[in-house]
Amino acid sequence: MIEQGRDYDRIGRFTPFEMGRRASCSACYRQFNRMEHLVDHMRTSFHSVHEPTCGVCKKHCRSFESLREHLIGPLPKQECRNVFNIRGCKFCLAILDSPYALRVHQDRCQLSGVSHGISAYMANLGLRDSLTIDNGYSRGPQVVALACKTVGGGSDRSLDLCARVCIIDENENIIFHTYVKPSIPVTNYRYETTGIRPEHLRDAMPLRQVQRKVQDFLCNGEPTWKIRSPKGGKARILVGHGLDHDLDKMQVEYPPIMIRDTAKYPPLMKTSKLSNSLKYLTQAYLGYDIQNGIQDPYEDCVATMRLYVRMRRQVHRRQDYPLASDPQNRNNFASWRQNELERMSPEEMLAISRSDYYCWCLDSA
Ligand SMILES: [Zn+2]
Ligand SMILES: [Zn+2]
Ligand SMILES: [Zn+2]
Ligand SMILES: [Zn+2]
């Protein structure tokens, strides 16, 4: 029975919210001794509908990694773990309606790796180049994934030189695939992981040409200065893992607003500062193994694209101004007086809170 004048959270538990007394956050359930401490917490936590959420207790987590810990980690929340053990998907962490629904779901959720054959064959042909500029007249913003492999240069052999590039489309078709001739001498081919030999690079496409082609392909006829939003323009959305490094090695500049990096997306990160490896993400979230022995950029492209598509498919409540940085919403809490906030219930505070990162589900709108 719900008592009058007291607050209950969304699963009907009593939350001790009264002025000047203990209060708990409506999103992460952290307890605070004073309302003002909860207000401070809300100002800096950027809770939102986009956070990974426990399918059992509805707790919001900063990342899938912390949700995983909450469900199956060394110190899980016992009630949630019990439900998860029976009908939780170990890949996407969703809770299904029944063990049967889980089996059906998990068969689709776990993917298998791509055949090495195709890419090795293409690489031996030397090149695939369908980098055409279509000026965006086909449907919607196009999404492509890019990955590079580097060899070593410089006297200590540690300088990364781009030696192989692959670009795929959303259907995992190879659009561009080539060896690259670096502009300075290679001092370490890193053969055990790259599979690259001197003869592969001798007559390969020069770096400068690759740079120009890739740059033009990504912008797709749009001048770089005009690219301000993933919506409505001709430029392509670029998916990858650690793209800062890849783009830097290719000397390509691309606006961050068009980049979807699985190494920098908060829900996929280990901690707020530390990325997960692509190998780990693929194993944990897609259920198959990559980067054993010789690494293939096609395989990396496919893994990042699949992670992106999965993140984009998340179903989150639509909001007009989803980001804390959107000037239209008053979410930044700055426009509210401290005493106004302290009078709000934890639920009301959560309702005005917005995300501090761009959730990829927004690309699907
Ligand atoms: Zn919280
Ligand atoms: Zn979202
Ligand atoms: Zn839970
Ligand atoms: Zn799943």
Give the Å distance between the CA of 113 and the centre of ligand 1. 37
Helix (H, G, I), strand (E, B) or coil at 265: coil
Give the Å distance between the CA of 48 and the centre of ligand 2. 9
Give the Å distance between the CA of 241 and the centre of ligand 2. 20
Tell me which residue of 263, 305, 281 sits closest to 175, measured CA to CA: 305
Give the Å distance between the CA of 54 and the centre of ligand 2. 15
CA distance 241 to 261: 5
Domains and CATH numbers, the chain: 7-108+316-364 (no CATH), 116-312 (3.30.420.10)
Q: Report which secondary-structure segment, H or E, holds 201.
A: helix 198-202
CA distance 54 to 68: 9
Q: What is the pLDDT of residue 1?
A: 40
Give the Å distance between the CA of 311 and the centre of ligand 2. 8
**pTM of this structure:** 0.89
State the angle between helix axes of 207-219 and 243-250 in degrees (0 to 180), rounded to the nearest 10. Answer: 120
Q: How many CB atoms are located within 10 Å of the residue 104 CB?
A: 11
Q: Which ligand is nearest to the CA of 11?
A: 3
Give the Å distance between the CA of 313 and the centre of ligand 2. 9
Q: What is the pLDDT of residue 119?
A: 59
Half-sphere exposure for 363 (CA within 13 Å, toward CB): 23
Helix, strand and coil in the chain, % to nearest 5:
35, 15, 45
Ligand 2 ion: nearby residues, β-carbon < 5 Å: 50, 316, 359, 361
Q: What is the pLDDT of residue 363?
A: 92
- pLDDT less than 70: residues of the chain: 1-21, 116-129, 133-141, 330-332
Q: What is the pLDDT of residue 55?
A: 96
DSSP 134-189: -TT-SSS--EEEEEEEEEEESTTS-EEEEEEEEEEETTS-EEEEEEEE-SS-EEE-
Do residues 150 and 158 touch, judged by C-beta distance below 8 A?
Answer: no
CA distance 261 to 150: 18
Q: What is the pLDDT of residue 117?
A: 59
Token pair of 246 as six digits: 């890849």
Give the Å distance between the CA of 90 and the centre of ligand 4. 7
Give the Å distance between the CA of 52 and the centre of ligand 3. 11
Tell me which residue of 290, 306, 307 sits closest to 119, measured CA to CA: 290
Q: How many CB atoms are located within 10 Å of the residue 292 CB?
A: 10
CA distance 24 to 346: 7
Give the Å distance between the CA of 320 and the centre of ligand 2. 12
Q: What is the pLDDT of residue 4?
A: 43
CA distance 137 to 38: 49
Q: What is the pLDDT of residue 227?
A: 84
